[in-house]
Structure 1
C-alpha cells in the first residue's frame, strides 16, 4: 500500500499543518507498517513558476516542435499526476495564506490538470485527508467569516473534480501566541488545537483501514 503526502507550508519547523499531517501519517503507518509513503514538499521544494504555462502550451503545439522547456514541463506534470494517482491513500497539508491557496498548491493542481483533464475523476473513491490551518478565525459570526477562499476551493478540486473520498481536519487561531492582538483567544485556541489533534488521529485511523 502507498500513501501520497503533500506538504504546502513554507515552513518546516513549527508548521501547524505539518503537525496535523504527521499524526494522520503515524496512524496510517500503524495500520500499514513497512508500507510506502511518497512525499512531496512543494512549499520548500518549489515547483517552477513557468511550468504550468509551458505545459499548457504543449496542447497547442505539435509534439515534434516542443522545446526542451516544454518537454520538461510536460514531464513534470505527468510525474505529479502519476504520484497522486498511484497512491492508495492521499494526505495533503495545506495552510491558508492571505485568504486563499498559495501559489505552490495552485501550481501543483494546475500542472496535474494539464496531464489529467478535469473531466477525469482521477481519485474516484480514493480516501484522502486534507489537513488545513488558519491563523485567525473564519467561522460563522466572526469578522472574517467567508474570507477563507482556500478550503472551499480544495474541497471542490479534491472531492468534486477528482472524486476523492475526502475528510477535512481543520485548525484555526494558529497565530494566537504569535500575534499579541489575539491574546484574548488563548483558551479558545488551545481547545481548537486539542480538537484538531484528536480529529487528526481519528482521520488517520480511518485512512488506514479505508
Structure 2
C-alpha cells in the first residue's frame, strides 16, 4: 500500500458535514494519508498557458509554461502515487465546488492520468466521494434529477475513458434541516441519513483496506 489521497473541497472547514463523514472514514483507515485541502489552499484554474505547456517541448517552455507545468506535474504525481482516494465534494448550487473542478482540470491529462487507448493507470483503484447536500435529491423528492454532482463525478472519476477509479458515493442529505425553520420536520430524516453515512464510511474504509 502506498497512501490514501484525501482531497477536501468544502469551504466550511470543521463545520462541513462532508468533512465530518470523511473523518469517520479516516478514523477507520490504517496507513499513511496525503491530505490536500482545496478549500484552504485552492489550486489555480487551468489556463491557456497550462494547456500549451502540456504539448510544448520541456526545453522550449516559457517561464510561465514551466510554472504551470510544475503545478500539474505535482498534482498528477500525487494522484498517481495513491492506492486509494477519499474526496469530499459537497453540493454547491446543484454542482461541485469550483475548487474541485479546478483540481480535476489540472490532474486529467491524456498520456498521464487519462491514458488512451490503453486505459487509465489508476484504473480500478477504490475511491469514496462524500457529497453532503442541504436537501433531498432521491426519487420522489422535489429535487430529483437536479443533482449535477454525483452523476458528473461518477463519469469523470469512474469511466474507463477518464480516470477509471472504482467509485463509491455517500450523500448525507437534508443538512439544512437543523438550521432552516421550515425544514425542521425533516430533522429525523437528516439525522438518519447522517448516521448511516458515518457508518458506511467506516465500513468502506475497512473494505478498501481489505481489497488492497
Task: Give the TM-score of the pair, scaled to structure 2.
Answer: 0.89
Matched, 1:105 2:100: yes
1:160-171 map, 5 Å: 160=159, 161-171=162-172
State the match for 2:127 in structure 1. Answer: 128
Contact 1:52/1:107 (<8 A) preserved: no
CA distance 1:21–1:159, shift in 2 (3 Å): same
Matched, 1:48 2:44: yes
| Structure 1: 5+ residue stretches without partners | 30-34
| Structure 2: 5+ residue stretches without partners | none
1:181-192 map, 5 Å: 181-192=182-193
State the match for 2:205 in structure 1. Answer: 204
CA distance 1:61–1:81, shift in 2 (3 Å): closer
Matched, 1:93 2:91: no
Q: CA deviation at 1:116?
A: 3.1
State the match for 1:173 in structure 2. Answer: 174
Q: CA deviation at 1:67?
A: 2.6
Equivalent pairs counted in the alignment come to: 204
CA distance 1:147–1:175, shift in 2 (3 Å): same
Q: CA deviation at 1:128?
A: 1.4
108-117 vs 1-10, greater mean Cα deviation: 108-117
CA distance 1:60–1:90, shift in 2 (3 Å): closer
State the match for 1:157 in structure 2. Answer: 156
Q: CA deviation at 1:52?
A: 3.9
Q: CA RMSD in A?
A: 1.7
CA distance 1:116–1:208, shift in 2 (3 Å): closer
Task: Give the TM-score of the pair, scaled to structure 1.
Answer: 0.90
CA deviations on 1:100-148 (whole Å, 9 max, x unpaired) are: 1121111111111135346341321211111111111111111111111
Report the Cα distance in structure 1 between the residues aligned to 2:144 and 2:125, rounded to whole angstroms: 31
Report the Cα distance in structure 2 between the residues aligned to 1:181 and 1:54, rounded to whole angstroms: 48
Matched, 1:73 2:74: no
Q: CA deviation at 1:13?
A: 1.7
4-13 vs 178-187, greater mean Cα deviation: 178-187
CA deviations on 1:35-91 (whole Å, 9 max, x unpaired) are: 321110111101123x44321122454544433222111111111111111011111
Q: Secondary structure at the match of 2:168?
A: strand
